[in-house]
């Protein structure tokens, strides 16, 4: 752990961590660095060009009324906000009531359920109520602008370590990514959750664990995403952070009670359980369920298995999903025994990034919009040397970009690539810890280690700043 706290370029050749030091930022010979950077530049430019095309499509879509065949998640949020405004919050999870409101906007059935169900907590409906006072088209455009502002703030913060024009390019890679486009088109909460996750990481880096817990409370918007981070924090005995996250969620709940009442939260808990069960009983492919949808279009391990085995193969999908989740979480926990996740060392930061990847992969309801959260790997890995952070930025943007290919091809490349990255990050941390142990036991290794740390100390401090 002491060894991993020093920068790799400050260590002797036989002491420095290998390429495992930068799974997302490969170390290459000097002769190939210019070629690699030029290739990454062209790759980044191509992703931005595609993103600009998506931006034009999005503007065109927002300029016209919602239509059949377009992105419809916004209907659920708008209808929920309407119910809060009309004093009918008790019907937030009632299918006929939501359907009636949505048919005033689109007169034909939409989605696998025939309407768009509202599956977020009641406080999300309260937050959306002011926008629901507007006509649907204006509300959708206004919410897209708010979400775009949140994305821009997050992108600027994540790209901040990059120098010069690379900073602007790094920010554009996030804002113009396909998951960001999908979030804006669907009217989803992904931008708010990205900014909340980023704020939590930055607070934790400064040692402000209470603030980190409060920032993480934004993930109560989708409880399936906050569950694993809370468990990981509890295992790390960060009880204060867990408590502040729970208190943050409780504060959101209490603030909403004057508008929705307490009873609807009981309805929500029961409804959420049924929605969760639906994801493991075929989601309407075998029998009618509370939540129905095409899980083959989802990312994550569940979507991967459904995509290749079929949504009707419930037993096979569930068994394999359980095995994969157990194996992946088990690998991460084993790697954590060698290297505690945190910001003190490169290995610790890799384990933190791997943990974020695990959270995304095991989510049974990971659709494209929430894949924008993969950009949280970058602040988890920082600080890296400037070329390393740029390469990692393009690599993470590339992971996000493959979701565009997953839509027409159902290839699930995002899941496969992210799974490979998580496994590599875990194995590299284990390998570094074993290498450090061998060096500390060998007299010559201890001497090299001492000299490397002495030479790298000042440089490490400058990098961290």
Residue 160 domain-assigned (yes or no): no
| Range name among 16-30, 216-230, 268-282, 435-449 with the lowest pLDDT average | 16-30
- Spatial distance between the Cα atoms of 150 and 5, rounded to a whole number of angstroms: 33
Domain total in the chain: 1
CA Rg, the chain, in Å?
23
Instruction: Tell me the average pLDDT across 256-265.
Output: 96
Residue 79 domain-assigned (yes or no): no
Instruction: Tell me the average pLDDT across 72-85.
Output: 96
In Å, how far from its chain's centre is CA 33?
Answer: 30
pLDDT at residue 434 tops 80: yes
Confidence of residue 451 (pLDDT cuts 50, 70, 90): low
| Range name among 207-211, 225-229, 327-331, 387-391 with the lowest pLDDT average | 387-391
Residue-level pLDDT at 387: 76
Give the DSSP per-residue string, 282-299.
Answer: TTTSSS--SS---GGG--
Confidence of residue 3 (pLDDT cuts 50, 70, 90): very low
Q: What is the pLDDT of residues 315-328, one digit of tens each?
A: 999 999 999 999 99
* Higher pLDDT among residues 278 and 16, named by residue: 278
Q: What is the mean pLDDT of the chain?
A: 86
Confidence of residue 38 (pLDDT cuts 50, 70, 90): confident
pLDDT at residue 143 tops 60: yes
Helix (H) or strand (E) holding 10: none
Instruction: Tell me the average pLDDT across 93-99.
Output: 95
Q: What is the pLDDT of residues 196-213, one digit of tens each?
A: 999 999 999 999 999 999
Domain containing residue 298: 3-56+191-464
Q: What is the pLDDT of residues 168-198, one digit of tens each?
A: 999 999 999 999 999 999 999 999 999 999 9
pLDDT at residue 159 tops 90: yes
In Å, how far from its chain's centre is CA 454?
Answer: 37
Confidence of residue 68 (pLDDT cuts 50, 70, 90): low
Residue 347 domain-assigned (yes or no): yes
pLDDT at residue 461 tops 50: no
Residue 331: CB atoms within 10 A of its CB come to 17
Residue 149 domain-assigned (yes or no): no
Residue (of 329, 443, 376, 453) closest to 157 by Cα position: 376
Residue 108 domain-assigned (yes or no): no
Residue 176 domain-assigned (yes or no): no
Residue 129 domain-assigned (yes or no): no
Residue-level pLDDT at 436: 78
Residue 67 domain-assigned (yes or no): no
- Residue that the structure tokens 């998580």 belong to: 422
């Amino acid at each position: 752990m002491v060894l991993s706290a020093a920068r790799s370029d400050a260590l002797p050749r036989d002491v420095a961590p290998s390429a495992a030091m930068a799974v997302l930022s490969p170390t290459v010979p000097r002769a190939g660095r210019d070629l690699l950077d030029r290739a990454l530049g062209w790759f980044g430019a191509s992703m931005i060009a595609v993103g600009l095309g998506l931006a034009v499509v999005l503007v065109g879509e927002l300029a016209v009324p919602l239509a059949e065949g377009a992105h419809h998640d916004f209907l659920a949020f708008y209808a929920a906000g309407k119910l809060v405004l009309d004093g009918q919050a008790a019907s937030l999870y009632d299918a006929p009531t939501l359907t009636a409101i949505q048919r005033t906007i689109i007169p034909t059935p939409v989605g696998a359920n025939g309407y768009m169900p509202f599956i977020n907590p009641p406080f999300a409906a309260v937050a959306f109520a002011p926008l629901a006072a507007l006509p649907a088209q204006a509300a959708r455009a206004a919410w897209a602008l708010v979400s775009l502002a949140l994305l821009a703030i997050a992108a600027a913060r994540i790209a901040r370590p990059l120098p010069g024009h690379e900073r602007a390019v790094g920010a554009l890679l996030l804002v113009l990514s396909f998951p960001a486009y999908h979030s804006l088109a669907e009217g989803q909460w992904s931008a708010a959750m990205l900014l909340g996750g980023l704020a939590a990481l930055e607070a934790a880096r400064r040692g402000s664990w209470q603030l980190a817990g409060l920032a993480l409370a934004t993930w109560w918007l989708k409880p399936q995403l906050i569950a694993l981070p809370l468990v990981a924090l509890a295992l790390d005995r960060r009880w204060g952070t867990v408590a502040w996250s729970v208190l943050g969620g409780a504060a959101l709940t209490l603030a909403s009670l004057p508008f929705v009442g307490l009873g609807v939260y009981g309805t929500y808990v029961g409804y959420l359980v049924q929605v969760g069960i639906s994801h493991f009983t075929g989601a309407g492919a075998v029998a009618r369920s509370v939540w129905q949808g095409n899980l083959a279009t989802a990312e994550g391990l569940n979507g991967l298995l459904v995509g290749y085995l079929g949504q009707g193969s419930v037993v096979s999908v569930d068994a394999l999903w359980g095995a994969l989740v157990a194996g992946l979480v088990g690998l991460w926990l084993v790697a954590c025994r060698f290297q505690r996740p945190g910001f003190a060392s490169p290995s610790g930061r890799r384990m933190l990034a791997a943990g974020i990847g695990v959270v995304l992969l095991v989510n049974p309801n990971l659709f494209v919009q929430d894949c924008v959260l993969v950009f949280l790997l970058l602040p988890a890995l920082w600080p890296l040397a400037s070329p390393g952070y740029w390469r990692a930025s393009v690599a993470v943007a590339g992971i996000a970009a493959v979701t565009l290919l997953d839509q027409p091809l159902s290839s699930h490349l995002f899941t496969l690539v992210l799974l490979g990255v998580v496994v590599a990050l875990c194995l590299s941390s284990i390998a570094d810890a074993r290498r450090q142990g061998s060096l500390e036991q060998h007299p010559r290794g201890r001497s090299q280690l001492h000299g490397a740390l002495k030479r790298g100390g000042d440089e490490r401090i400058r990098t961290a700043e």
